[in-house]
Amino acid sequence: MKAMILAAGRGERMRPLTDTIPKPLLKIKGQCLIEYHIQHLVAAGFTEIVINHAYLGEQIERTLGAGEHYGAKLSYSPETIPLETGGGIFKALPLLGTNPFLVINGDIWCDYPFAQLRDRLTGLAHLVLVPNPPHHLQGDFCLIKNHVSQGNTARLTFSGIGVYHPDLFKMCQKERFPLAPLLIKAMQNGQVSGEYYKGEWSDIGTPERLYSLERTH
């Protein structure tokens, strides 16, 4: 199974830290966020990794190279303008192939055991949900008996970690669009499974959250 790291965001909320460096290259304890993801994925057996990028993307390619230093084979999907999550994944499909693939947001920090995701997909998508953080108490989706929906019960937060079948994108076109509407449509058809992960997870969306993570690691 191949993996993809989403790294094309501008990082507006991280300014001024991202004025001269893309968010995936921000560091915690001297290590770039995206390097942590690559090492974590390789340790779980994911050695073919696709990375999309837009803002200052050449810095990402220059820093990571072809991936041999990490024991990985890295491929890049550059975007002239950010295509959002859905559009970015769709553009990268030729690199991801025809089998299900893992996607992880480049701006999170977690200790999730990626290896266990290889056999989780039964429909079009499988999402990892986490407890709602203080900045997102309303959550995103409901999880009932391993099925994800928009139901009215207590919601959990989408972690930014998911496994997707290419067929989730079969009606899409090469343009800018979010992932959420595709997931919601698949949920309505009972094609999205999920799991609740209570381990370490952080959404690094602001400098304050980055500094907090730095202090605790």
* Highest-pLDDT range among 5-9, 125-129, 150-154: 125-129
Q: In what order do the strands lie in the sheet with 48-53?
A: 73-78, 48-53, 3-7, 101-105, 157-164, 125-130, 192-196, 147-149, 142-144
pLDDT in tens, 165-192: 999 999 899 899 999 999 999 999 999 9
In order of their start, the domains of the chain are: 3-202 (3.90.550.10)
The encoded tokens of residue 23 equal: 């968010």
SS3 62: helix
User: What is the Cβ-side half-sphere exposure of residue 93, based on CA atoms within 13 angstroms?
Assistant: 18
Q: What is the DSSP letter of 180?
A: H
Average pLDDT across the chain, whole number: 92
Distances (CA, A) of 124 to 101, 120, 179, 198: 11, 11, 13, 24
Over the stretch 53-66, which tens digit does the pLDDT of each residue have? 998 889 999 999 99
Residue closest to 209 by CA, chosen among 23, 38, 80 = 23
What are the tens digits of pLDDT across the range 43-101? 999 999 999 999 888 999 999 999 999 999 999 999 998 899 999 999 999 999 999 99
pLDDT band at 217 (very low <50, low <70, confident <90, very high): low
Q: What is the CA radius of gyration of the chain?
A: 16
